[in-house]
Amino acid sequence: MSWTLGIANRTTPHSTEDLDARTGRVLTKVVVCYGDSNTWGADPTGAGRFPADVRWTGVLQRELGSDYKIIEEGLNGRTTNIEDTIEEDRNGRRQLPPTLESHRPFDLIV
């Protein structure tokens, strides 16, 4: 995988459906959206979570179309780099490497 301006020029498919049968080129671009309650889709009224098509990741998927696969990797309560004393395992900096590894290969992380 090579990187240009932070975007990978991926040569390995995420799945076999991502390949052009004729040319063998990767068709689908995979975008991992890593974040907190906003990415998770928390409803600020306390009603839980917005429906998938209302969350920003769902809107992004709809706008980009079928040439893109959006992976929603949000966690309610995730922090940038702080250990939460109430909810454990919410430190985003510590979680990022294994999370990205679990979604390889991908083209972009947001």
Comparing 18 with 80, the larger pLDDT belongs to 80
Residue 76 has pLDDT above 90, yes or no: no
Average pLDDT for residues 20-24, to the nearest whole number?
A: 70
Is residue 16 very low, low, confident or very high in pLDDT (cuts 50, 70, 90)? low
Comparing 30 with 80, the larger pLDDT belongs to 30
What local confidence, expressed as pLDDT, does residue 46 receive? 86
pTM: 0.76
Q: Which residues, at least 6 apart from 25, have a Cβ–Cβ distance to it below 8 Å? A: 19
SS3 (DSSP) at 18: helix
Runs of H (alpha helix) within the chain:
37-40, 56-64, 92-102
Average pLDDT for residues 21-29, to the nearest whole number?
A: 75
